[in-house]
Chain A
């Protein structure tokens, strides 16, 4: 299957700093990318959907000014957690789909810990 990578796999930062997470589709063009957040022992919750070259669509309750998403190319989407706080600590997972997009491919996730 297609490969989606995320970088970094783990990040620890101080409260108040910003953190950027990259999501790349390595062998296909991802017209749509999704960002999910997963708290410990919980399910994945969709944060936002981004289409290449356009603004992301955020789910209800997700602050778009806090979670900045950029999908500038068909192979790269970034999620920036601005002014991170301990409650933002979570596992962030991206997924990508291309073409008709019946199947989405998931990245390995990024563990964010805010001290």
Chain B
């Protein structure tokens, strides 16, 4: 079985400051990694994903994440946040066996951008 840990339930940050949202995972098999964003009362929107290749992945809205296999981490970063980035962010994994396509989510991190 796999699990995802997001250590920070809330991250307050001032507008235009950099931010890092942490994600660690545990799995006995290789996984794909994802970050999703959820705005209030809405579904999930894919920010970025790591499937293979370069460990630095760039996504939408200026976000990027780096896969670190030795530390089993996939932290999300943005160099300068905006008020509109205030949302819930979920890290997720999916095992590489295509027979099981469901995602396992972390508990989420609420990013609160303050003016």
A side interface size, CB within 8 A: 26
Are A106 and B43 in contact, CB atoms less than 8 angstroms apart?
A: yes
Verify if A72 is at the interface (C-beta below 8 Å from B).
no
Q: Which of B71-98 contact A (CB under 8 A)?
A: 90, 98
Given contacts A34-B102, A97-B101, contact A1 B43 (CB under 8 A): no
CB distance from A41 to the nearest CB of B (A): 8
Q: Measured between C-beta atoms, what is the minimum distance from B36 to chain A in Å?
A: 8
Question: Which residues of chain A have C-beta atoms less than 8 A from B42's C-beta?
Answer: 108-109
Pairwise interchain contact A103-B105, C-beta atoms closer than 8 A: no
B98 touches A93 (CB 8 A): no
**Closest-CB distance, B27 to chain A (whole angstroms):** 16
Which chain A positions have C-beta within 8 A of B44? 44, 93, 95, 106
Q: Is the CB of A43 within 8 A of B41?
A: no
Interface centre among B103, B104, B107 (most CB of A within 10 A): B103
Indicate if the CB atoms of A43 and B105 lie closer than 8 Å: yes
Which residue in chain B gives the minimum CB-CB distance to A34? B102
* A83→B15 CA distance, assembly (Å): 47
Are A104 and B43 also in contact (CB < 8 A) when A43-B90, A43-B107 are?
no
A55 to B44: give the CA distance in the assembly, Å.
26
A53 to B54 Cα, complex, angstroms:
38
CB pairs A–B below 8 angstroms (14 shown): A1-B46, A6-B43, A43-B90, A43-B105, A43-B106, A43-B107, A43-B108, A46-B102, A95-B44, A106-B36, A106-B43, A106-B45, A108-B43, A109-B42
Return the 9 tightest CB-CB contacts between A and B, nearest first: A108-B43, A106-B44, A106-B43, A43-B105, A43-B107, A101-B101, A109-B43, A44-B105, A46-B102
